[in-house]
Amino acid sequence: MPAVGGAGQASVCPFGGAQVPLWPGVAPGSEGSALSEAFTERSKVANVHDRSVTGVSTPSLYPYAAQPPNGAVAIVMPGGGYTHLAWDKEGLDIAVWLNMQGVTAFVLKYRMPADFPQARWAALADAQRAIRLVRHNAAACGFDTARIGVIGFSAGGHLASQLVTRPTAVTAPAIDAIDAVDARPSFSVLMYPVISMDPSLAHSGSKVALLGAKPSAADIALASSELQVTATTPPTFLGVSNNDTAVKPENTQRFADALQAKGIAHQLHRYQDGAHGTGIRDASGDMAAWPTQCATWLAARGR
């Protein structure tokens, strides 16, 4: 693979059409892993994929280059309750849509926390490394370092919200110059996200998968993203259906309220119709407008 590490900026863009591992060799925390990665097809429609990914031990980025690109980049974080990744509906579909907006996309295949209890924040480590890897290679790839953001869905929305609120959290040992690069995203899009680990709001499956059955009060607080918003949290677009029965819509509202309290620019859409886990392809009712509204928001912010 062309240079992605070492001192200074890379001179050759390493992102072609193939997946790019986040770390050289074994990812920190994956040592000794015997996981077997698997893609499981859930679609009942011929030639229409709806795959679930499990057993990730080698986290990586799947690049989708915009033609023509506008310099902006978004790292896509599929959901799946921190037990699997909804690879097509909340990953590849979103990358194709971003390309239509001129935004280069990278779909992040991140590790599931329950698979790595010895590295509880492995997913966040993967997210930090993804931003750093893309930003480190920005000059060689023609990316604007001030226009590198994230878009996350459900548990992937939680991961994105953790990244935008805790970009400097120490989640893995530094191994090269890339780990010194700024991991703060320039913008974020959070769709029907898991946000809080408050017992009154938490999505129980995601909470247990991330923190275990008996988490400490400190870990609950750290993983409650509404409590971690700071004055440097980036501008955010948020969308959720009031009919969401999987993750309480109040999760999204809490994060929006925290952004408002810190004076962070944001746009919140609480749709009357729609459901959880729809991505773009299954979005219905007034929630079907979210891609158009988000594209307008991105364009207005120069993304």
- Residue range of the domain that includes 49: 37-300
In-domain check, residue 288? yes
Whether the pLDDT of residue 4 is over 60: the answer is no
In-domain check, residue 4? no
pLDDT of 76: 99
Tokens 């459901």, residue? 275
Give the mean model confidence (pLDDT) for residues 95-106: 98
Looking at the chain, the whole-number percentage of residues with pLDDT higher than 90 is 93
Whether the pLDDT of residue 57 is over 90: the answer is yes
In-domain check, residue 95? yes
Strand residues in the chain grouped as ranges (E)? 20-21, 38-41, 51-54, 60-64, 73-77, 85-86, 104-109, 148-153, 188-191, 236-241, 266-271
pLDDT of 9: 60
In-domain check, residue 14? no
In-domain check, residue 184? yes
Whether the pLDDT of residue 7 is over 80: the answer is no
**pLDDT tens digits for range 210-239:** 999 999 999 999 999 999 999 999 999 999
When divided into structural domains, the chain yields a total of 1
In-domain check, residue 9? no
Cβ-Cβ contacts under 8 Å for 162 (sequence gap 6 or more): 124, 127, 169, 223, 225, 228
In-domain check, residue 26? no
In-domain check, residue 179? yes
Which CATH number characterizes residue 99's domain?
A: 3.40.50.1820
Distance between CA atoms of residues 220 and 197, nearest Å: 6
Whether the pLDDT of residue 134 is over 50: the answer is yes
Average pLDDT in the chain: 95
Q: Where are the alpha helices (DSSP H) in 13-121?
A: 93-100
